[in-house]
Amino acid sequence: MSAVIQVDRLSKQYRLGQIAGRRLVDAVNRWLAKLRGQEDPLSKIGSVTASRPSSSSDASARNRGQAQTIWALKDVSFEVKQGEVLGIIGRNAAGKSTVLKILSRVTAPTEGEARIKGRISSLLEVGTGFHPELTGRENIYLNGAILGMTKSEIRGKFDQIVAFSEVEQFIDTPVKRYSSGMYVRLAFAIAAHLEPEILIVDEVLAVGDSAFQQKCLGKMKDVAGEGRTILFVSHNMEAVRRLCTRGVWLREGVMHMDDAIDDVVDAYLDSIPQQPTAVLGNSGLGLTVFDIRLRNQSGVHCSTFRPGDDLIVEMSYEANTSIAFPGFAIVVQSFKGSCFAANMMLDGHQPAVLYGKGQIACTFKSIPLLPQNYTVQLAIRARNGKDLIIGYNDVAYFAVSGNLAEYGYKGGFIALAAHSTPVVVPYQWRLPDGTVASVSLNLPLT
Amino acid sequence: MNKPLSGDQLLKRKLAAAFAPTNDSDWTLIIRPKTGWFDLHLQDLWRYRDLVMLFVRRDFVSQYKQTILGPLWFIIQPLLTTVTYTVIFGNIAQLSTDGLPKILFYLSGVTAWNYFADCLTKTSETFVANANIFGKVYFPRLAVPVSIVLSNLIRFAIQLGLFLGFYFYFLARGTAIRPTMALWLMPLLVLLMAALGLGSGIIVSSMTTRYRDLRYLVQFGVQLLMYSTPVIFPLSQLPDRYRWIMLSNPMTPVIETFRYAFLGTGTFSWGYLGVSAAASAVTLAVGILLFNHVEKTFMDTV
């Protein structure tokens, strides 16, 4: 299999702050000053440096007070072979979108080269070029042409596009009257019917309702199945796992890892530090909860768990006054709502008193959660069970990550678990032919 | 493998990449930091010709959707302008119109000047007005200015129709006007105006990505520029020693030839026209080169 994309030491440097002298007069002044060998009249005295000085020349530039620069990408190299689906992951501002912008020719690299074989179509945003006064029909042609299709191609696919977008009734109304959902569906429908050899997608699946997102994922999977090459950037790890075969992890503009997708995603999720907790407090009663950590059954402080792991919520507090019988309540929530909770109001296990420094921990055994993102909320109530000492706050975030196939799940839509109801209670099907199929998350790992 | 690439592995990769046999011709596209000033990839523009036509359609249609008068607006502006000039310059100021009926004189000037001015002002905003869409998708950026010039051509055709309406009316009334052989030069004149408008527009556009104040310069500059052309009064009225002022504006020979072609009166000279054509060609060439140079990195400064 030959390489269709070769990225070779790609680097991109940006200048920070105001592009010096936005007025023509300023530029002329600077030039005159330079001619006369004088200092740049527009430099600032003692300007603050950029957070990532990358070379000594930047240091001297700093001293001279000139514009600071930042390397959004430095020496990034990787290769994509025909038919591969490459996922590019990383924290925000790691340089993922910059790579895509360079490959899409929206901006040029500062150094390095990218070599491409085949036609590229980029989806950096849905609805690029939509004009509000034009009808849906006219916008399909316009947007399709902007994305690189010829008029005859669009004409040929017109009916499929309209059908995919589910806006047949409104196809001849101006797009400014569409709801945002319709707008996005139409935009994505057009993009989904591109037939480039190489497709570049930047987090556009983060729009629309979950039913539509599933449709889009499915369509992209089809596209990948046809042997096209896809570059996919997303923060949705489950989507990345499902679609991609290989992964590249960018860290602060530099290549950190380039490997099979599962390995890269696992390594990446493990590296996400626990969200620093805002210190919660009730000044009236002198109580502060200053540290909340999540641990798994091995006691490791982490933010990614496997289905069936133990979830230990550890809270460190400091009480300056004696607080009698405080009731702690911890709620684990998914995007669909509350999943389960530990509530001292219900179980009656309030500690007699809180005073001084101490720790309270709650272990949820064998969490029956599907691979998704979750938050932990905390509230502390007074003895009477009603007054809130510390109101509900999102105090921690964690993700459950794992391949359900390893737990004995065999369904074809396993990776869409990220959109399913999160809690799994063991259940059993009794099928028409008399067989009984038991399902639970506690099957031993193979 | 959960480890990030080690220094050794990274080095090996770099070496492999550096020494791998690369045959440039294997690749459809090579993205590099700088391309030569003259690397124009105009065939890209041809491939995107459908897009250019769709832009033309979009500009034209969106202008008058939801208006009552629709395309009639394209006629009202030159009409009102001509009437104003006729009253103020023709009747009150009593400026000569070279013996031509006032309406025809001013309308011909306005029609021609409108095309050039529209091309210039609209293309001068290309980068800034389209920064949004340029930042998200690639298509040859020249498609936008070219589509502006083409959609203005439609407007010009409509206004020319208005002019011809008055023209035939005056012809029928037996006025002393007659078309000349210079009429065959009309397509060339249109081309000249387009080239000049497009060229200067994209030069301004390339510069406004960095220096926004140029936009304001263009807006009133175009208005003032009109007064150095024969729109208001004919070249023949200017004393010889001041003629060079008007002639240094490349639009002057174009407008004079336009009048000469249709109306038989005007200063027509192959020499002047030649210089004008050369100026247009140079402006367009410089514009395209500058545009090409800027389009790769303007997203970082716009």
Same domain, A121 and A236: yes
- A446 vs B155, which has greater pLDDT? B155
Position B37 in a domain: no
Position B3 in a domain: no
What secondary structure does DSSP assign to A414-437, as a single string? GGGGGGS-SB---EEEE-TTS-EE
The proportion of chain B whose per-residue pLDDT surpasses 70, expressed as a percent, equals 88
Q: How many domains does one find in chain B?
A: 1
The minimum CA-CA distance between A130 and chain B, rounded to whole Å, is 9
Same domain, A168 and A85: yes
The minimum CA-CA distance between A8 and chain B, rounded to whole Å, is 7
Q: Residue A267 and residue B4: Cβ atoms within 8 Å?
A: yes
Residue-wise pLDDT tens digits, B2-11: 456 666 776 6
Position A378 in a domain: yes
Same domain, A31 and A84: no
The minimum CA-CA distance between A76 and chain B, rounded to whole Å, is 10
Same domain, A351 and A217: no
Structure-token match 């000279």, residue found: B269
Give the lowest-confidence range in A47-61, A147-161, A368-382. A47-61
Distance CA B167, CA B177 (A): 9
Residue A135: strand pairing partners: A174
Q: Yes or no: say if A107 and A144 are a contact pair by the CB < 8 Å rule.
A: no
Structure-token match 């081309």, residue found: B191
Q: What is the pLDDT of residue A433?
A: 93
Which of A222, A238, A271 terminates a domain? The answer is A271
SS3 call for A125: coil
The proportion of chain A whose per-residue pLDDT surpasses 70, expressed as a percent, equals 84
Position A3 in a domain: no
Q: What is the pLDDT of residue A321?
A: 87
Distance CA B201, CA B144 (A): 12
Using the predicted structure, report yes or no on whether residue B277 has a pLDDT greater than 80: yes
Q: Scan residues 41-70 of B and list those with Cβ closer than 8 Å to A.
A: 48, 50-51, 54-55, 57-58, 61-62, 65-66
Ramachandran bin of A88, using left for φ above 0, alpha for ψ from -120 to 50, beta for the remaining angles: beta
Domain coverage including residue B291: 70-301
Position B61 in a domain: no
Q: What is the pLDDT of residue B211?
A: 78
State the DSSP H helix or E strand holding residue A297, giving kind and residue range, or none if neither. Answer: none
Indicate the pLDDT class of residue B115, thresholds 50, 70 and 90.
Answer: very high
Residue-wise pLDDT tens digits, A231-247: 988 877 777 887 888 99
pLDDT average, residue stretch B276-299: 85
pLDDT average, residue stretch A373-400: 83
pLDDT average, residue stretch B100-115: 89
Residue A439: strand pairing partners: A427
Using the predicted structure, report yes or no on whether residue B22 has a pLDDT greater than 60: no
**What is the interface pTM, i.e. ipTM, of the complex?**
0.74
Q: Residue B301 and residue A6: Cβ atoms within 8 Å?
A: no
- B287 vs A405, which has greater pLDDT? B287
Position B25 in a domain: no
Closest residue on chain B to A105 (Cα): B138
Nearest partner of B203 among B110, B114, B119, B297, judged by Cα: B119
Indicate the pLDDT class of residue A330, thresholds 50, 70 and 90.
Answer: very high
Q: Yes or no: say if A254 and A240 are a contact pair by the CB < 8 Å rule.
A: no
pLDDT average, residue stretch B104-122: 90
Position A125 in a domain: yes
Same domain, A294 and A244: no
The minimum CA-CA distance between B55 and chain A, rounded to whole Å, is 8
Position B153 in a domain: yes
Same domain, A122 and A218: yes
Position B14 in a domain: no
Residue-wise pLDDT tens digits, B153-185: 988 999 999 999 999 988 888 877 788 888 888
Q: Yes or no: say if A341 and A334 are a contact pair by the CB < 8 Å rule.
A: no
Using the predicted structure, report yes or no on whether residue A131 has a pLDDT greater than 70: yes
Indicate the pLDDT class of residue A62, thresholds 50, 70 and 90.
Answer: very low
Q: What is the pLDDT of residue A341?
A: 93
Contacts of B32 in chain A (CB under 8 A): 108-109, 113
Residue-wise pLDDT tens digits, B54-88: 999 888 887 777 677 777 888 888 899 999 998 99
Residue-wise pLDDT tens digits, B200-232: 988 888 888 777 778 888 888 888 888 888 888
SS3 call for B106: helix
Q: Residue A106 and residue B14: Cβ atoms within 8 Å?
A: no
Residue A362: strand pairing partners: A313
Question: Amino acid letter at A432?
Answer: P
Q: Residue B50 and residue A113: Cβ atoms within 8 Å?
A: no
Closest residue on chain A to B7 (Cα): A256
Indicate the pLDDT class of residue A329, thresholds 50, 70 and 90.
Answer: very high
The mean of the pLDDT values for chain B is: 83
Give the lowest-confidence range in A43-52, A130-139, A371-380. A43-52
The minimum CA-CA distance between B300 and chain A, rounded to whole Å, is 7
Q: How many domains does one find in chain A?
A: 4
Same domain, A262 and A165: yes
Indicate the pLDDT class of residue B131, thresholds 50, 70 and 90.
Answer: confident
Give the highest mean pLDDT range of A201-210, A230-239, B99-108, B157-166. Answer: B157-166
Contacts of A142 in chain B (CB under 8 A): 54-55, 58
Position A368 in a domain: yes
Give the lowest-confidence range in A151-155, A301-305, A311-315. A301-305
Domain coverage including residue A169: 74-271
pLDDT average, residue stretch B128-134: 81
Same domain, A326 and A234: no
Position B243 in a domain: yes
Residue B94 at interface with chain A, using a CB cutoff of 8 Å: no
The proportion of chain A whose per-residue pLDDT surpasses 90, expressed as a percent, equals 16
Question: Amino acid letter at A144?
Answer: G
Using the predicted structure, report yes or no on whether residue A64 has a pLDDT greater than 50: no
Which backbone phi and psi does A322 adopt, to 5 degrees?
-75, 130
Same domain, A139 and A251: yes
B89 DSSP 8-state letter: I
Whole-structure pTM value: 0.69
Q: What CATH code is carried by the domain that includes residue A330?
A: 2.70.50.60
Provide the token pair at B281.
């060609």
Q: Residue A122 and residue B54: Cβ atoms within 8 Å?
A: no
Same domain, A267 and A218: yes
Position A10 in a domain: no
Q: What is the pLDDT of residue A48?
A: 40
Position B204 in a domain: yes
SS3 call for B94: coil
pLDDT average, residue stretch A7-19: 80
**In what side-by-side order are the strands of the sheet with A304-305?**
A304-305, A388-400, A373-381, A327-334, A337-343
Position A445 in a domain: no
Residue-wise pLDDT tens digits, A167-180: 889 999 988 888 88
Position A444 in a domain: no
Nearest partner of A46 among A31, A22, A29, A68, judged by Cα: A68
- Best probe of the A interface among B11, B54, B64, B141, by most A CBs < 10 A, is B54
Structure-token match 């060439």, residue found: B285
- Strands A327-334 and A353-364 come out as unpaired
pLDDT average, residue stretch A68-92: 88
Same domain, A126 and A247: yes
Distance CA B276, CA B278 (A): 5
Which backbone phi and psi does A287 adopt, to 5 degrees?
-110, 130
Give the highest mean pLDDT range of A238-252, A338-352, B121-135, B165-179. Answer: A338-352
Contacts of B295 in chain A (CB under 8 A): none
The mean of the pLDDT values for chain A is: 81
